[in-house]
Chain A
Amino acid sequence: EDKVVQSPLSLVVHEGDTVTLNCSYEVTNFRSLLWYKQEKKAPTFLFMLTSSGIEKKSGRLSSILDKKELFSILNITATQTGDSAVYLCAVDPNYQLIWGAGTKLIIKP
């Protein structure tokens, strides 16, 4: 059975800290891995990763995929209170996304 596991499930850090969120997966067919940020309601797209070892970067956020070890990490440096959200990881085996449970990140001022 295809599955996506995120860890930790929740994380509390102080503003300015760096955090690493993990996403591991087991799927029969792999097309891509995606990261979304969900602040209150609608998830918003962050990154799509298809190739191992190539870092995607957007400001203080970056992500990388390891297709051999079947995981991805999402890094956030110099965290701000606005980074507080649930971060969702999803894997696309056949255009129907399989979602992890999410990591709830709380940034304390």
Chain B
Amino acid sequence: DGGITQSPKYLFRKEGQNVTLSCEQNLNHDAMYWYRQDPGQGLRLIYYSQIVNDFQKGDIAEGYSVSREKKESFPLTVTSAQKNPTAFYLCASSIVGTSYGYTFGSGTRLTVV
């Protein structure tokens, strides 16, 4: 079955460490997105990519980095420069030029300890 896989589901990080969240899709979607979700808030866009080897900053890109070396994969690195990284991170994908076809992964809950 096609879908998006995020790993790990839970992640603990010490302050000052970089950590990478994995997102893999087998839906043949060109567009992929990373969102952050905090309690009581909607989804905020971190980065998105519409084609391999190209990506764009979203509304809250500071302290994050991404790569898109393969169509299927869009990993997110949370760097030590991110001041408040504890949050729920969601990855999504879609066909470029559509919005209703967003498919989401199950998310990664990152906690800084």
State the interface size on chain A (CB cutoff 8 A): 22
Instruction: Tell whether, in the assembled complex, residue A99 and residue B100 are in contact, meaning their CB atoms are under 8 Å apart.
Output: no
A43-B104, A48-B100 known; A96+B48 contact, CB < 8 A: yes
Tell me if B2 counts as interface (CB < 8 A to partner A).
no
Chain A residues 76-96 with CB under 8 Å of chain B are 88, 90, 92, 95-96
Tell me if B27 counts as interface (CB < 8 A to partner A).
no
Instruction: Tell whether, in the assembled complex, residue A45 and residue B102 are in contact, meaning their CB atoms are under 8 Å apart.
Output: yes
Instruction: Tell whether, in the assembled complex, residue A95 and residue B97 are in contact, meaning their CB atoms are under 8 Å apart.
Output: yes
Per-residue interface assignment for chain B, residues 93 to 110, with 1 indicating a CB less than 8 Å from any chain A CB and 0 otherwise:
000111110101111000
The total of interchain contacts (Cβ-Cβ below 8 angstroms) comes to: 54
State the interface size on chain B (CB cutoff 8 A): 21
Secondary structure at the B interface, as helix, strand, loop or mixed, is: loop
Cβ contact of B41, chosen from A32, A44, A48, A101, cutoff 8 A: A101
B42: chain A residues at CB < 8 Å are: 4, 6, 88, 90, 99-102
Instruction: Tell whether, in the assembled complex, residue A45 and residue B106 are in contact, meaning their CB atoms are under 8 Å apart.
Output: no
Q: Which residues of B contact A (CB under 8 A)?
A: 35, 40-45, 48, 58, 88, 90, 96-100, 102, 104-107
21 A-B pairs in the complex with CB atoms less than 8 angstroms apart: A4-B42, A6-B42, A34-B100, A34-B102, A41-B107, A43-B43, A45-B100, A45-B102, A48-B99, A48-B100, A90-B42, A90-B99, A95-B96, A95-B97, A95-B98, A95-B99, A96-B45, A96-B58, A97-B43, A97-B45, A101-B41
